[in-house]
Chain A
Amino acid sequence: MGNLTDINTLYQRMAQGYGFMSLHASVASGATTAAAAPSGHLSCSVVVNAIGTTLPGTLVGFPSNGSTNAKRLIHYLQGVGAAGTFQGYMGVYYKIGTLNLAATGDQFTHDAATFPVLRTKYGESSKPVSLIPLVQITTATTTTAPIFTLKNGAGTNGYVDEDGNTIVGTKTMTMPAAATANNSTFIFRLENDDNAVEDIVNINVGTAAATGAATIWGFEPISPLATYSATNATAEDALFAPLRLPDITPAVATSGTATAYLGGLLFSNATRTMRSIAIGVDD
């Protein structure tokens, strides 16, 4: 489509039906295990569409239409669902792979899609997207808090950083409890000066739990979530405030099809839900 050059064109295009308005009503995140310093400090929870989702493993993203054009977000009205406020981001989850926490050694299985995922950035097409690397517990751990590192046992690779460099990680992730609950989500500790990943290649489990598994996600933030009160809505003006018009259509894998979901990353380990409305225009 393209040629979205001015506000009048935007209004006319939406009036013609080239737009979207969807409710982002999330599943309750459930009470999860709080993070600690050795697991990245920030307690997080994965939330996606309430209908169709059974956390942590069966996910349905927030609904959308079938358009393959860019879907430019212009406004994101946010409310609080279950009691309590939260901060976080609405964005796209890309499944990088799965991690077995019940055995030691190289226990990461990459998804079939080839990363990085790609978008047009600064006018250049097919540029890698920088992703927040997340560990989402999908089988609760038992007996021993597992410890793992972004590297392989041979010490030859680990992850690809936001600049495209292959990095062998040295920082360990130690789950905060022997019994780390389902849907507990943590941000991977990266090497100093690294802020994001384009891909994860290997994860080495140094200390295994008796049971445990995780999904490894790359998360692309689109809109901040900031609810300050259970009685008041907040809104992110994605049009006039940041002059950004972010595209909520998932980025594409280098090859294959990335498993992607539109959802919320909540910075909380208490149970929370999202109730938000996304409005945008087809481009």
Chain B
Amino acid sequence: MAIQLNTSTFINQNTQYGALPYEFIMANANSATTAATVNCGSTTMQRINTPFTMPSSFGTGVTGGILTQCHMMTNLVNCTMMACLEYNLGSINLATGTFTDGVTMPTKLVAGSSVQTASFIPVMVVNATLTATTPTITVTYKNQAGTNSRSAALVLPTNTAINSAFNIAPHLQGTDTGIQDVTNITKSAGTSGTITVYGLLPLAIATFGNAQSIISNFDPMTVPLYPYRCEASENIAFYSMGVTTTLASVAASLNFIADN
């Protein structure tokens, strides 16, 4: 982030570059997902299958957008949601056992310094329903300190459903806290399905109580999640946590200010 976030800057950025449009995502009819166990993250999660993608280009002088407001709404009860920058670090096809490498976590400008990021909430997501009996999925990765050949193994439930997501953090090797890069993914069993490891950088969080149709307004300016610059073509993905039931609808609105 190059701009300093204060009132004068907001006015100047909007005047000079124009406010970025109020962006929306809508997703509905997610099918029911599979609950986690103590062997795969201890946190039940769903990936909402409609990420928001930043524009592929910006006007002169604009390098990206800073998320300044995020409203999330769902008819789910008893859940939390988060919006994250999402990076495909690698995937495995269970039919063939083939690993397809993804990207490395990016460098980001953070508080004035260029930082090699690592995700402290790496997740394993089922992108196509598995045909597999309690498969052990082993991820080989570079940790937050840049050390290679680290490994984390999760035992997924049998025939895990599409869009089920599992937190890898509790299973990282030793005292590791994050993943910079994934170099391999292997499986112990399974004949079909696809699993992807995503590295997430959190942007916004929300929690929803007992009633439905609640808008939970997250103000990134007062919650100490760093407001990363969201750059061209980057994905902002949404995850719900705590429920496995079928989603009827999820909506989110995103407000950005131009960064330069």
Residues 204-239 of A at the B interface (beta carbon under 8 Å): 227, 229-233, 235, 237, 239
Contact with A along B160-183 (1 / 0, CB 8 A): 000000010110111111111000
Q: How large is the interface on B (under 10, 10 to 19, 20 to 34, 35 or more residues)?
A: 35 or more
Query: A233 to B115, Cβ gap below 8 A?
Result: no
Do the beta carbons of B223 and A80 come within 8 Å of each other? no
A23-B242 contact in complex given A15-B108, A15-B115, A235-B223, C-beta closer than 8 Å: yes
**Given A18-B144, A64-B170, A65-B177 in contact, is the A230-B211 Cβ separation under 8 Å?**
yes
Q: Taking the complex as formed, is A4 at the interface, i.e. its CB lies under 8 A from any CB of chain B?
A: no
Tell me which residues across on chain B come within 8 A of A11, comparing CB atoms. 110-111, 224, 226
A195: interface (CB < 8 Å): no
In the bound complex, residues from chain B placing their C-beta under 8 Å from that of A12 are: 110-111, 113, 115
A21 at the interface (CB under 8 A from B): yes
A-B Cβ contacts below 8 A, count: 175
Q: Report whether B78 and A275 are in contact in the complex, using a CB–CB cutoff of 8 Å.
A: yes
Instruction: Say yes or no for B198: interface residue by CB 8 A criterion.
Output: no
B207 touches A60 (CB 8 A): no
A14 interfacial contact with B, CB 8 Å? yes
Are A63 and B175 touching (Cβ within 8 A)? Answer: no
A95 proximal to B (CB < 8 A): no
What secondary structure prevails in chain B residues at the interface with A? Answer: loop
Size class of the A contact interface (CB-based, 8 Å):
35 or more
Interface residues of A in 1-30 (CB under 8 A from B): 7-8, 10-12, 14-23, 25
Q: Is B260 an interface residue (CB 8 A)?
A: no
Asked, given contacts A63-B170, A277-B82, whether A231 binds B209 with beta carbons under 8 Å apart, the answer is yes
Task: Please tell me if the beta carbons of A79 and B179 are within 8 angstroms of each other in the complex.
Answer: no
Report the bound CA distance from A66 to B169 in whole Å: 8
Known: A74-B224, A79-B208, A80-B210. A275 touches B80 (CB 8 A): yes
A25–B226 touching, CB < 8 Å: no
Q: How far is the CA of A133 from the CA of B216 in the complex (A)?
A: 36
**Could you tell me if B175 and A66 are in contact, using CB atoms closer than 8 angstroms?**
yes
Identify 12 residue pairs between A and B in the complex whose beta-carbon atoms are under 8 Å apart, listed by A's number: A15-B226, A17-B144, A51-B43, A74-B224, A75-B223, A75-B225, A77-B207, A78-B207, A81-B210, A84-B210, A237-B224, A275-B242
Using a CB–CB distance below 8 Å, which chain B residues touch chain A?
Answer: 35-38, 41-45, 78-80, 82, 105, 108, 110-113, 115-121, 143-144, 167, 169-170, 172-180, 201-202, 205-211, 214, 216, 222-226, 228, 241-242
